[in-house]
Amino acid sequence: MRNIKIINDNWLFKKDTDIVPETLPADWEKLDLPYTWNGEDGQDGGNDYFRGSGCFLKAFSKSELPEGEEHYLQLDGVNSSAFVYLNGVRIASHHGGYSTFRVKLENVLEENILAVVADNSQNDFVYPQMADFTFYGGIYRDVKMIGVPKKHFNLEYYGAPGIKVTPVVNGADADVQLETFVTDSAECSVEYRILDGEKIVAKCDAAADHAAVDMKIENVHLWDGVKDPYLYTAKASLIFDGEKIDEVSVRFGCRSFEIDAQRGFILNGREYPLRGVSRHQDRPKIGNALTYEHHREDIDLICEMGANTIRLAHYQHAQEFYDLCDERGLVVWAEIPYISKHLPKGVENTKTQLTELICQNYNHPCIVTWGLSNEITMNGAADQSLIDNHKMLNDLAHSLDKTRPTTLAVVTLCSPDEEYVHITDVVSYNHYFGWYGGTADMYGPWFDRFHKKYPGRAIGISEYGCEALNWHTSNPEQGDYTEEYQANYHEELIRQIADRPYLWATHVWNMFDFAADARGEGGENGMNHKGLVTFDRKYKKDSFYAYKAWLSDEPFVHICGKRYVRRTEDVTKVTVYSNQDEVELFANGKSVGKQKKGKYPFFYFKVENSGKTILTARAGTCTDRAELEKVETFDESYRMKEEGGVINWFEISTPQGYFSINDTIGSVMSTFRGKLFMLKLAKVLLSSLLGNKSGEKKPKEKKPKTKGISVMGFSLNRTMLDLAKGFTVKRVFVMLGGNFTKEQILDVNASLNKIKKPK
């Protein structure tokens, strides 16, 4: 029988080296796995975190190997390339930092040195190379030794488990095909069993070289989403010479699903709108080097919010997390890190990573779609190599798995008419209307136009969101990074999504704040703050509770703005979220009023702000509490502080009835004089903003030809114009990354101050 031993303890490590020593060095760092060398420098901003090689060493004796005639090393995650050595001899290499791979150990001595060189340095053939998250280097998941007999279930096929389970619901029953893969199957048979708990509900035996066996579960108990994620176990035992010599088992669920362009996602015959989040896995100081308890905390928070789906972006996540999604009934979009920029030399790597993703995760009932890429057309969608690669991947996914559709996450600027958008079975868009330009009310009309033009094409939202830190205001506006704007934004998105059941899936970007070392905005460098929950998982932002009110059945009430206590206005708005039918708000024990829940679970009250006020919200048996305090001047600790910001709010003159740089491009252009003025700025503003939203200077690249005016390789289209009109003039300058001085910006403001607003 196989024996598995985790060998995470007692490694030696040296960063910035790919040299494999012949003996154990005395001066190397001692550590336990999992580990990343970017736990700090990958989270502090500056885009200067270490990307290179590090060598991990472990000594072991032959006697320490788990019992077995043959031995394999299993590495569950080494980012992003790995080179494995045994006693100084390279025995394997692997390119792809998020999937499991195994290495057969041969020529093992009495005393041995195992070395793994991890390398997350930049290259032109391993994905990802350009993306809005940190690529943590190291061995950040478990390392195992596996001992097996010479005849065993295959351990060398793309890290797969050696058993493949394909259930098909057929009326009240389920037809289940089981397939195993055996190394040296001569004179062997396989004993198949399906268990419901401890009870065997189906069984059969077959020759080990038999392609597959068909079995039946009568009166099947369905895997039915978050309400009833029921799991069976498939077990296969390898029999040789009358003895059981190896065994593999997996859990699986029986469910049917389809994705309909009109009705959305359908689970087990009923409409089941997929409404949830995307997830990045990293945490403070440890990056992606997570424990099971970390995964469990994440899944608990997602389920508390009431989500029924997760997009596991932008790479293969840990097996423990897919297992948890199986157990909790969360529907999963799984994808590979083919992201942002097509690499001509990376075609084989996309093929390998997709094969590993599907083969290693085929048995998970939670997974319903394979994502081929994310925002890959950042430089345009007309690249024939990019299109051909997607067609190849689409065919590959269908050849490996005939039960699940493929999908894409498409960047906003890519027109729905592009060929690339129509390669996969279904599609979703990453939109940030109301954050990166445009306004939040643009979502619904945009998707309605797509739906009308392509009524047979299932469409969803793969990303949407905006950033929030511990900044606060009573007058939230786009780009202010306040918790209040994020809450208002998501209220608006909930309204629009709820009214469009044809959206097959919607995923908030993101469930948690995450590290992106190239970022420097919002007042904290190195982070993307679009999470509904903070990076350390300690604080649930108000927007988290907006979704809980919409999606969760667990009774609760939540008063927004708990971190926004000191306010200047005499009467202040207080927002309450609850999934209960009625909410009553009290100020210092006196009722402010009762409100019945309308179409959406958001309640708004006007509260007199005088002295200190204790707010209490009551909804059914649920209560919540918050505090207010009247102050005369605005508390500057609530206002965003930007490192290196070129202009402060108090330097901007805003005469009543006249424009300023605080107004949007669209509003300025609504007047004749404003349009003339903006046309003078339009060329530099639009090309700088839409061509490079991060402000980073990039080398010129040869781009595909497009008809008419083009931006980032795309023909100028309505969406681009709507995005541009939604930006304030100030925000454009800020996002241009220091290309304009404060004096130049104030000159623009002075000119706008002379242009009257329409009455």
Pairing, β 78-79 against β 138-139: antiparallel
Closest residue by Cα to residue 689 from 725, 652, 660? 725
Q: How far apart are CA 415 and CA 421, in angstroms?
A: 8
Q: How far apart are CA 68 and CA 61, in angstroms?
A: 14
367 CB contacts (<8 Å, ≥6 apart)?
322, 332, 333, 334, 361, 404
Torsion angle in degrees (nearest 10) through CA of 283, 285, 287, 293? -50
531 with 515: CB under 8 angstroms?
A: no
- Degrees, nearest 5: CA angle 632-664-755: 90
529 with 481: CB under 8 angstroms?
A: yes
Q: Max CA-CA distance within the chain?
A: 94
Alpha-helical segments (H) within 642-695: 665-668, 672-691
Q: How far apart are CA 543 and CA 508, in angstroms?
A: 11
Chain centroid offset of residue 22 CA? 41
689 with 683: CB under 8 angstroms?
A: no
Q: In DSSP terms, which residues pair with 626 in a beta bridge?
A: 615
Beta-carbon neighbour count of residue 667 at 10 Å? 16
Annotate 229-241 with DSSP letters as a single string: B--EEEEEEEEET
φ, ψ of residue 731 in degrees (nearest 5) = -65, -35
Q: How far apart are CA 217 and CA 193, in angstroms?
A: 11
The tokens describing 67, both together, are 């019992």
Q: How far apart are CA 421 and CA 431, in angstroms?
A: 15
The tokens describing 21, both together, are 């020593």
161 with 543: CB under 8 angstroms?
A: no
The tokens describing 733, both together, are 């300058």
Annotate 458-489 with DSSP letters as a single string: -EEEEE------SB--SS--TTS-BHHHHHHH
The tokens describing 249, both together, are 């088992």
Q: How far apart are CA 464 and CA 442, in angstroms?
A: 12
φ, ψ of residue 721 in degrees (nearest 5) = -65, -40
Q: How far apart are CA 136 and CA 133, in angstroms?
A: 9
Closest residue by Cα to residue 117 from 11, 40, 42? 11
Q: How far apart are CA 694 and CA 684, in angstroms?
A: 15
Q: How far apart are CA 281 and CA 315, in angstroms?
A: 10
Beta strands in 477-560 (DSSP E): 505-508, 514-521, 524-528, 557-559
Residues in the chain: 759
φ, ψ of residue 723 in degrees (nearest 5) = -60, -50
Q: How far apart are CA 734 and CA 744, in angstroms?
A: 12
State the distance between the two ends of the chain, measured CA to CA, in whole angstroms. Answer: 82
Beta-carbon neighbour count of residue 89 at 10 Å? 11
Strand order in the sheet with 557-559: 557-559, 571-578, 602-608
370 CB contacts (<8 Å, ≥6 apart)?
334, 335, 354, 357, 358, 397, 401, 404, 405, 406, 407
Amino acid at 645: G
243 CB contacts (<8 Å, ≥6 apart)?
none
Active-site annotation, residues: 375
